[in-house]
Amino acid sequence: MWREIRDREAGKTRPNSFTNRIKSNRIADLQLSNCKDIVSPHRGSINSLQVDLTEGRYLLSGASDASAACFDIQRATDYEGRGLIAKHKCLFAVDKQHESGHKFAISSAIWYPVDTGLFITGSYDHYIKVWDTNTTQAVVNFKMPGKVYRTAMSPLATSHMLIAAGTEDVQVRLCDIASGAFAHTLSGHRDGVMTVEWSTSSEFVLITGGCDGAIRFWDIRRAGCFRVLDQSRSQLGRRPPILACSATNKVSISKALSVGQNLPSKPRVHQKKPAAGNGIKQSPLGRTPAKGPLRQRLHPGMLSSQDRATAHYGAVTGLKITEDGMYLLSAGSDSRMRLWDVESGCNTLVNFETVRLQTSKAIQLATTQDSSLVFVPCMTAVKAFDVWSGMTSMTFRGHYEYVNCCWFNSQDQEIYTGGNDRQILVWSPSRLIANEMDTGPAEDQDNWSD
């Protein structure tokens, strides 16, 4: 540790690599935090957790007793055990008693990505509500056709303010906060939609996973989905060429994605000269020559062999796109995790050592910033898998019932997990410098009397 700091001081290491190294060291020794307690006001299982994206300070939780609560995770409200244990009580909570509160379980509670002035809750009572944080009043109300399973807002959107909502209904709806109405209705799934996720590389790309086992990619600027992931189409491991240089990496991604986005023109090209020599750039898409034209002809929702492809046997319960937007992780009720190459739409055949996953509920996955680890709620524990090898690197045991959600706070390198036992647990790196408070009350030491 000190040597690294000296190296950094001497300019031997780059600032970026230095921080990365320290961060990864900290992540490697995450453990249940003794000195940070989140006092859960919920009387039901925690379904959703999110730390705001602007300050990284406020944790929002949604629970099945129709309550949502907000915590300040950086400043404790009070201390216990002579300052040893910091208690974080909720700053505010909205529950059934609230005049415009939800009636049934809140399945998803997310922050408005731009600031912490708004947050959005989706509930089993068929409503999505947008709340003003400061007055804790519901400002917009969306009536959905069924239970809301998951809501999502694009973290990079600049041109739209759409809430994507996965519900019991087969259609995915996009709710516009600006107008208070549904902007889009995306149909394609044959069963309820368990999970929705916006792409982290393009503000117009939405990914949805349904109970029918399909993962669909939508470009919200055009009708129909442009890709259905098929578990039988696979490639081995990561694509090598893109990692040539980190600087060009981003460009290539954006280019690759722009390829995807400019599909309306491309498929036509494909159609006209099928099996013609594609450019190197188009090579991932070129592997599916039949897909473009077929979808072009088909009206969304019509039958086709591609359209029937499934990503999991059973329902897709969790989706998480990596920070760079190149890979997609999915969890299914078949207790499998899959890593998809977004660019090619192929299953990368990474075998994650999940033993069992919860099947009845949507689960919330989390990845680290450099997408080296993925945190997955596996029944009563949370496991951290290496994204590229699928090996278990850590297991977090602490909950006494099923864990539903987890969130990685990349700023403090902490994870927050919520489960059916109504607890929100904080897992943080162990402190390097032993706190002097540790020698406080009733010292924890060996006590051999004989």
Partner 1 sequence: METVGGLGQGKVRALIEKATNSTEAEVEPRLLKAIKSVVRYSDSELRLAAQTLMDLMKRDHSQVRYLTLLIIDQLFMRSKLFRTLLVENLDQLLSLSVGFRRNLPLPAPPAVASVLRSKAIEFLEKWNDSFGIHYRQIRLGFDYLKNTLRFQFPNIQANAAQERREREMRSKEILQSKFEILKGNLSSIKEEIQSTLDEIGECLEIVRTEQETMPPGPLDDEDFVEFRPSELRQIRLDSLREGEKIHENSENKVVFDALRELYKLLVTKHLVSVQEWISVLIRVEVPDNRSRDSVLKEFIDIQNRLQSVKKKCVESGYALPDTTKREKDEEEDFWEEGKIESIKLESSNALNKLNENFAVASTSGQTKNDSPESSKGKAKCDQSQSCKGADSSSLRSKLLAEGPVVKWGNFLNNWDSNRVVLANQRGLELESHWGRVDYNAVIPAEKIAELNIRATIYEEEQVEIQPCHAPLHKGGLCQRRDLRVCPFHGPVIPRDDEGNPINKSTSTSDTTLDSDLIEQLAKQAVKNVRNRENEEANKRKLDKQSQKRAKLAKIREHNEAVLRDAALASTSNSVFAGENVKATTGGRLARNKKKSLASMLHKKESTKDRLAQRLLNTRARDATIRLLTLGEDANYREAFPNQW
Considering only residues 30-49, where is the footprint of partner 1 by CB under 8 A?
32-34, 37
Q: Looking at the DSSP assignment, which residues form a beta bridge with residue 142? A: 128
Q: Which is nearer to partner 1, 99 or 446 (CB)?
A: 446
CB of 396 to partner 1, least distance (A): 10
CB of 47 to partner 1, least distance (A): 17
Segment interacting with partner 1, rule: CB under 8 A, options 71-79, 81-89, 131-139, 265-273: 81-89
Considering only residues 82-111, where is the footprint of partner 1 by CB under 8 A?
84-85
CB of 77 to partner 1, least distance (A): 18
Find, among 342, 232, 227, 386, the residue nearest to 292 by Cα.
Answer: 227
- Does residue 442 touch partner 1 according to CB under 8 A? yes
Binding residue count for partner 1, defined by CB under 8 A = 26
Considering only residues 363-422, where is the footprint of partner 1 by CB under 8 A?
380, 397-400, 421-422
CB of 294 to partner 1, least distance (A): 47
CB of 31 to partner 1, least distance (A): 9
Q: Which is nearer to partner 1, 97 or 447 (CB)?
A: 447
Binds partner 1 by CB under 8 A, chosen from 180, 264, 274, 441: 441
CB of 44 to partner 1, least distance (A): 11
CB of 406 to partner 1, least distance (A): 16
- Does residue 444 touch partner 1 according to CB under 8 A? yes
Q: Which is nearer to partner 1, 37 or 307 (CB)?
A: 37
- Does residue 356 touch partner 1 according to CB under 8 A? no
Considering only residues 256-295, where is the footprint of partner 1 by CB under 8 A?
none
Q: Which residues bind partner 1 (CB under 8 A)?
A: 32-34, 37, 80-81, 84-85, 380, 397-400, 421-423, 425, 441-442, 444-450
